[in-house]
Every structure is written in C-alpha cells, then in structure tokens.
Amino acid sequence: MLGVKIATWSEVSHSLLVAPHTLPTLIQIKKMVMFKVTRVETTPFEGQKPGTSGLRKKVKLFIQPHYLQNFVQATFNALGADRDKGDITKTEFLFHVFIEIITKMAAANGVRRIWIGQNELLSTPAVSAVVLESRADGSKATGAFILTASHNPGGPHEDFGIKYNMENGGPAPEGITNKIYENTTTIKEYLIAEGLPDVDISTTGVLSFEGPEGKFDVDIFYSTSDYLKLMKTLVEGILIQI
C-alpha cells in the first residue's frame, strides 16, 4: 500500500498535467460470482461520534476488529433507502483491506453499484466532482465514503479517518451525523458479503457480481477524469508547466 499522502492543490495540479488527452476506454468485465449476506454480531465502541470532517481517530483504534465495520454499518443504517443507487470509496492512507471491507458491506446492504478510484486514490475535491457527475450510462452516486486523515498527520502511528459525503458532494449534515452516532451506540450486528472476491483496483473496468437482491457492480474508474472535466469548465487558457 502507499505511504502517507495528503493531497494538496499543487498535487492536484500535477495530476492535471499527467492526465492524458484521451481518457482510457472502460472495459466491461463480467464476473457473475454469487455472494450471500452474512450477519456478524458486534457490540458498540465508545466515542464513534463524527463531526463535519467525519470520524477521525488513531490508526490503532481503527484496526481493532469490528471498529470500521460498526461505523460503516451505522452509516448505511442512517442513510436508509437512499443508499441503493451507488457509492464511492477513496483512500489516502491505510490498508487495501479497508476498501474491501466497505465494498463487501455495501454489497450486503443492498447498494447496487460502487465506484472506486483506480489504485484507491482521489483528492477530496475530485471525490465531490465524481459524486456530482452522472456516469455514461446515466447512473449517479448518492454519496461517498472518504477514507482520509484530512490535514492531520497520517501513518501507522498517527491518525486515520472516515467520512460520508452526500449526493451534493458535501459533508453529511448534522442530522445525518447525529443519526450515525446514535446508531453506533446501539449497534448489535453488521452485514457483509460472503463469497465476494477481493477486487483488483489497479485496472479500470466494471466487475459484476450477483447477490440476494440482484446484480452488484464495482466500477474502477480513472481517478482524475471527472475532476479534470470540471476544472476545464472553471479554468481557461492557463498553461501549467513544470
């Protein structure tokens, strides 16, 4: 996995420089693997109260068994029926397994499609751009899980965080974060997909799986395409040179 990387505007600019003029063609890959939903018993953890920047704690807390799962399930429960259109995940630091956990929990909670940035990386503004942009087939995300330490020091002995952005690309409002926290204090189980294989997120494409509620798609997309498209509408005639 990659080391600590906190996105800055200069790094975003650099990503614009290296973006190809023609974006890669998305290859449809079918993997009709059946999975089933498993209910895992759990107990609450104290202090899982998110702010506008989500839940930010030391890495040693997040790697405890069930800690991340509890918070993710509490979020799905807070979103209710609004969760079924889509989902996006993004990381700046931590283990690839965290992406896999959220993917499998999304599948188990009835999400129909998730989008993951290639190689797990997106800047926070790019996440918002992806949420706002409709896909080629007309589908649109209803929100995004963002895994990031934000401006805090990141790394194995420092901070890690998770937050949920809404369909407008912005952070979850207080009404939602309060509901998430309330759910974390009473949670007794979480749902996760059993039999869903780990996903190769190094190659763009769509992987399709079959579950109890129908098809579940995992779309690995080129991480800067939507952000580049948005920036072209805002910035005109500027040459950036290294």
> How does DSSP classify residue 116?
E
Q: Which class does domain 9-234 fall in?
A: alpha beta
pTM summary value: 0.78
From 5-9, 65-69, 107-111, the region with the lowest mean pLDDT: 5-9
Residues taking part in catalysis: 150
From 38-52, 81-95, 135-149, 159-173, the region with the lowest mean pLDDT: 81-95
**What is the residue extent of each domain of the chain?**
9-234
Per-residue confidence at 96, pLDDT binned at 50, 70, 90? confident
Which pLDDT does position 94 carry in this prediction?
55
From 15-24, 124-133, 170-179, 196-205, the region with the lowest mean pLDDT: 15-24
Strand partners, 117: 221
Mean pLDDT of the chain: 78
* Buried-state track 33-46, b at ≥16 Cβ within 10 A, e below 16: eebebeebebeebe
Sequence-ordered list of residues with C-beta below 8 angstroms from that of 58, at least 6 positions apart, any chain: 157, 158, 159, 160
